[in-house]
Amino acid sequence: MKMQVIILVLAILSCGLAVEVTLNCGECLASTDVYCINQTSYRNCIKNAAIGNVINCPTGSVCTNSDVVCVKSSELSENIVDVCGTSGGGTGCAKCTTQKFTCVSRNQFARCSDTTLIDSNIYDCDTDEICVSEALDQYDNICVPSCASEFLNLKASCSNSGYTTTTTEAPTTVTPSLEQKKSACSAAATNLNIPTTTKYFFTKYNADTTCRSYLYCERSADTDTEWRIVYMTCPSSKPFYDSAKSVCVATKPSTCT
């Protein structure tokens, strides 16, 4: 009987640890009730649903699994991670071991030179695939179709939606006024046929033809025509916003100047 109790306790502890290390960007974290929108902004959560305004982290800090949420990049550790960055991923995320490739986001990978990550070129998996570092050993392919990953019980090695660094470059254009941002979100919602049931989305800021900035547009709870907006810029490693993929990329899209 005692042995059964010990096994039960160990199983419960194991489950608790499994929940704690699952840190997904764009989801409410069970341990802190925080929803990291991206590396530098977040919302709070109640009953596993994001609520309230978007909160921006101070310059030089990122959204983490810490109770204080925003932590300086220099103070990250094994237990306090950048949830929407590569350190927020699981085993094999942006880590070079014995393989020639490693995952750097949910559907991106890069080459390795011994234990050094070569991030000058980032490669994309197909739209319906996720990047699983361990699959390279088991199935000779780092990109796994979503349907196959569910069958094989494989999870993406990284939680971040796109490979970025914690260093962001300054905007190349003057930050738009609140009215300009509201107008841009309203226009994007119309032009992109965003359903009124969609509470938030990301869009290119069309006034910036260099594609180095974009907007987070969130509908107000009171009316569909009012917006809560965050003006954002792409990091130096991927300085261009690709409106087709809704992520920052290293290669300038043909629609940008």
Note the pTM of the prediction, 2 decimals: 0.42
Asked if residue 200 has pLDDT above 50, the reply is: yes
Domain spans in the chain, listed from the N-terminal domain onward: 2-75, 86-152, 178-249
pLDDT at residue 67, rounded to an integer: 92
Phi-psi region of 86 (alpha: psi -120 to 50; beta: other; left: phi over 0): alpha
The whole-angstrom distance between residue 57's C-alpha and the CA centroid of its chain comes to 15
State the average pLDDT over residues 182-196.
88
CA-derived radius of gyration, the chain: 20
The whole-angstrom distance between residue 98's C-alpha and the CA centroid of its chain comes to 26
206 burial via Cβ count (<10 Å: 0-12, 13-18, 19+): middle
Quickly state the pLDDT bin for 255 (edges 50, 70, 90). confident
pLDDT in tens, 66-93: 999 999 877 888 788 888 776 665 556 7
Among residues of the chain, what percentage have pLDDT more than 90?
Answer: 8
pLDDT in tens, 15-64: 333 333 457 777 889 889 998 887 788 899 998 888 888 888 888 888 89
Q: Which of 21-25, 164-168, 178-182 has the weakest average pLDDT?
A: 164-168
Task: For residue 243, give every residue at least 6 positions away whose Cβ sits within 8 Å of its Cβ, in sequence order, or none.
Answer: 203, 204, 211, 214, 253, 255
Mean pLDDT score across all residues of the chain = 78
Residues pairing with 129 in the sheet: 145
CA atoms within 13 A on the CB side of 66: 19
Task: For residue 138, give every residue at least 6 positions away whose Cβ sits within 8 Å of its Cβ, in sequence order, or none.
Answer: none
pLDDT in tens, 94-107: 788 888 999 888 88
* φ, ψ dihedrals at 122, nearest 5°: -110, 130
